[in-house]
Structure 1
Amino acid sequence: MSITPYRSVLANQAARRVLLLGILLRIPIFGTGVLLMLHVVEQLGRSWGEAGLVSAVVTLAIAVSGPWRGRLLDRHGLRKVVLPSILINGSCWAVAPFVGYWPLLILAGVAGLFVVPIFSIARQSVIAAVPMHERRTALSVDGVGVELAYMSGPAVAVWAGSQWGTAPTLFVLQMLGVLGGIVLWILDPRLREETAGAGEVIDVPRSAWFRPAFIGLCLAAAASTLVLVGSEVSVVAGLREWGQSGSLGLVFAGWGIGSIVGGLVYGALSRGLSPYLLLSGLALVTLPMALADSAVTVAALALLAGLLCAPTITASVEAVSRVVPAVARGEAMGWHGSCMTAGSAMAAPLAGLVIDSRGHQSAIVLVCLAGLLIACVGAASVLVVRRRRSQVALAA
């Protein structure tokens, strides 16, 4: 694997700044979820069900905010969107860790609606900062950054919460996120390529790009997180059933390392792959985890499955950037991110129901087959559209 593409991307100061900020701003987002649940249970003395309700409200709020705030990015630019996030998140989280359950629920939900849309901003800025031929590599680096934040955020948050308490840790974690938002506001990275009408507001009707090709990519994004989160929940249940819950870190480390390696390899390829092909591959390589009977076996299979995690997501983001006009990319990335959130939100209860009735192996099989089905339908629709275009071209 050649590192030359990565050398070029990381030498780009604008791209390097956004990639680093992306990691720093995502760590509080990933770390808050599990820490918030622990806070509700340990600090407030509530049940896990009530903790899950807070988590669900925050997840739903973030999912709703994606397309809405992405559209605001397209129309008003980064600074006018990030400033309310800084003020509202700072105000909410300055109070939320130190109040009772119901005020916490409301404040966390409001903060979720106004979270800094870092996923949309980071991807748009990375795309705008590099030439077309480096886009895949830059998005792969961003995907690796997401993986690093996903792996480190919860671990650091839980460790800090156990040392200094969940309330102070929540406060510090969110204030670091606010600080990152301030730095982002100051830097104000460009969100569009120079040739894409940067600096002027161009209103593109949603009907011009919200079409089957884009919808299919959003469904593929949702399916990818359905497979990932559904299999994660199932593996946790399996380890608990085998009395090997202590090996959970080993399994997730295998998944994360595999995803980072896969993302780096994919970013160095001279040509990208279809997100539907990668989604089907992700489902197929995850499926053997249903046959595992020990933590060591699951960890080895997780390493294999992880190789296609980051590439699948990167390919879908890259495809969205190609089918959507640059001036509407903020809203499109918001929809894409919300679909990924929706897929992960559906995965946990769906897998849980199957685990309760048929066991964790059946849950893995179900989410993998669902992902494979969506990948096949998406790939078939692409072939149909290409055939129709060929026929129209020949007729003309």
Structure 2
Amino acid sequence: MPAVSFAPYRRALRSRPLRTALVLGTLVRMPVFASTVLLTIHVVSGLGRSYTAAGVLSAAATVAIAVSGPWRGRLLDRYGLRRVVLPSILVALVCWSIAPFVGYYLLLGLAVLAGLFVIPTFSITRQAVIAAVGEGERRTAISLDAVAVELSFIVAPAVAVWAATVWDTSWVLFWIQMLGVGAGILMYVVDPPLRGEGEAVVGTARASSRTWFRLPFLAVCLAATATTVVLAGSDIAIIAVMRDLAAEGQIGVVLAVWGLGSLIGGLLYGALHRPISAFWLLAGLAAATFPMALASSTLQLAAFGFVAGLLCAPTITATIDQASRIVPAQVRGEAMGWHGSFMTTGGAIGAPLAGLAIDQRGPGAGFVVVAAVGVGVAALGLTAVSVRRATASAT
């Protein structure tokens, strides 16, 4: 294990642009995480529809967001932040001023439209974070962003669920989305730089996709997909195990402990002197997920989840770091958009895959099947890297 030092965090956090990017990213992401769970509550409780209907809405919105990632990222590279964010703000303002107060099918259509024009939050934030620091602090800065994501993931849904128990879900959904619009306006006003010193500015000649959209980049994106397969499947499996233990009231505790492990792991990874391959981290994450299938109590599941969580944020951070170094700076927006779409796709695959295994073999099978996917992709990636190195050394 490489040596750990927190000095890189002190150096990175001296950068005011980095601090600004992290705050903006957190403000824009929180409404996104909050609305994900809130839409399900609104469809089931507010509209009186089934969980299947809620799942269809969630899947449709997820697909729309995944589709939007690469082309919105390409527009970022070509036109810059403000010309991309402004239409997103206007579409979100119109769609979410109407969607919370209409029936299911119109809500579905408006959610898909809003998803297609969603602010490319992850692409913008990651580019701004990378641009704010030098090469030596890049991994540390991305780790800080991953920690900010974990905090948003832990806090925002909990606040949304609480608000939905106090007020009408339509108005809670409306105000959360308006907070997202407000955060988008703030991002438009601040307009953080997306290129670092010495990198090509936005709007310069683009590198051909044939020069970077190749096997090394796709392999890293596949590792990102497998990571979210493991995480989304584990999320469903945790809920299934807790229901099987008749401890539904402690689901939030277990998820919070899992998230805490990820937060700590992200901080530690950013403090390492040397990076670790995303494929090795994915293999470790998958291997640490297997024991969760053996948990027979809430305490055991939380403990196993904490250990697995230690590798969640580092694995995601490693895929972002490696992807950003593979591609030229002038196409980083599109590349981060593709990376985000691969991650979104993994999340869409992991939940139903784990659900099918749970229905067939019981709660523990959910962990086993998604962990097996992670191990398989990690093995393929490590093999490909070994073959590539052997070929390069032979020539």
TM normalised by structure 2 equals 0.97
Check 1:317–1:327 CA distance in 2 against 1; reply closer, same or farther (3 A cut).
same
Residue 222 of structure 1 is matched in structure 2 by 225
Q: Secondary structure at the match of 1:350?
A: helix
How far apart are the structure 2 equivalents of 1:56 and 1:257?
27
Q: Count how many residue pairs are aligned between Structure 1 and Structure 2.
A: 392
* 1:355 and 2:321 aligned: no
Task: Tell me the equivalent position of 2:324.
Answer: 321
Equivalent residue for 1:28, pick from 28, 31, 40? 31
Instruction: State the match for 1:254 in structure 2.
Output: 257
What's the CA shift for 1:47?
1.3
Is the 8 Å Cα contact of residues 202 and 330 (structure 2) preserved in structure 1? no
Partner of residue 300 from structure 1, selected from 297, 300, 303: 303
Displacement, 1:203? 1.6
What's the CA shift string for 1:196-236, capped at 9, x where partnerless? 21144212111110100011011100000111111221121
Tell me, in whole angstroms, the C-alpha distance in 1 between the residues paired with 2:180 and 2:242. Answer: 34
* Counterpart residue number, 2:94: 91
Aligned residue number for residue 196 of structure 1 = 199
Letter aligned with residue 293 of structure 1 = S
Counterpart Cα distance in 2 of 1:260 and 1:203: 36
Q: Residue 276 in 1 paired to residue 279 in 2?
A: yes
AA aligned to 1:387 is A
Counterpart-to-counterpart distance in 1, 2:268 and 2:113: 39
Aligned to 2:210: 207
Superposition deviation, residue 313 in structure 1: 0.3
Tell me the amino acid that sits aligned with residue 325 of structure 1: P
1: CA distance between counterparts of 2:318 and 2:105?
A: 40
CA deviation profile, 1:112-165 (whole Å, cap 9, x unmatched): 111111100010111011000000110000000111111111111111111121
1:159 paired residue number: 162
Residue identity (%)? 54
1:293-326 residue CA offsets vs partner (Å, 9 max, x unmatched): 0111000111111100000000000000111111
Match in the other structure for 2:42: 39
Q: TM-score, normalised by structure 1?
A: 0.97
More moved, 260-269 vs 161-170:
161-170
Rounded Cα–Cα distance in structure 2 between residues aligned with 1:44 and 1:285: 40
Given candidates 325, 336, 341, the residue that maps to 1:338 is 341
Q: Which residue of 2 aligns with 1:18?
A: 21
1:57: which partner in 2?
60
Q: Which runs of 5+ in 2 are unaligned?
A: none
In the other structure, the counterpart of 2:384 is: 381
Provide the alpha-carbon RMSD of the alignment. 1.0
Which of 77, 99, 106 aligns to 1:74? It is 77
Q: Which runs of 4+ in 1 moved over 6 A?
A: none
- Partner letter of residue 243 of structure 2? R
Q: What is the DSSP-based 3-state SS (H/G/I as helix, E as strand, rest coil) of the residue aligned with 1:94?
A: helix
Q: Distance in 1 between matches of 2:8 and 2:197?
A: 22
Letter in 1 for 2:288: V
C-alpha deviation, 1:194, in angstroms: 2.4
Counterpart CA distance in 2 for 1:267 and 1:390 is 31
Distance 1:270 1:155 in 2: 35
Q: Which residue of the partner structure matches residue 126 of structure 1? A: 129
Q: Deviations over 1:248-282 (max 9, x none)?
A: 11211111110111000110111110000000000
Structure 1: how far apart are the matches of 2:253 and 2:366? 21
For residues 313 and 162 of structure 2, the distance between their equivalents in structure 1, rounded to whole angstroms, comes to: 26
Contact 2:222 2:342 in 1 (8 A): yes
The answer to whether the Cα contact below 8 Å between 2:223 and 2:378 also exists between their aligned partners in 1 is yes
In the alignment, which of 265, 268, 275 is matched to residue 265 of structure 1? Answer: 268
Change (3 A) 1:133 1:352: same
Name the aligned partner's letter for residue 128 of structure 1.
A
Q: Partner letter of residue 226 of structure 1? A: V
Tell me the amino acid that sits aligned with residue 188 of structure 2. Answer: W
Instruction: Give the counterpart letter for 2:26 in structure 1.
Output: I
Instruction: Provide the residue aligned with 2:142 in structure 1.
Output: 139
SS in 1 for 2:198: helix
CA distance in 1, matches of 2:103, 2:289: 41
Structure 1: runs of 5+ lacking an equivalent: none
Q: CA deviation at 1:2?
A: 3.5
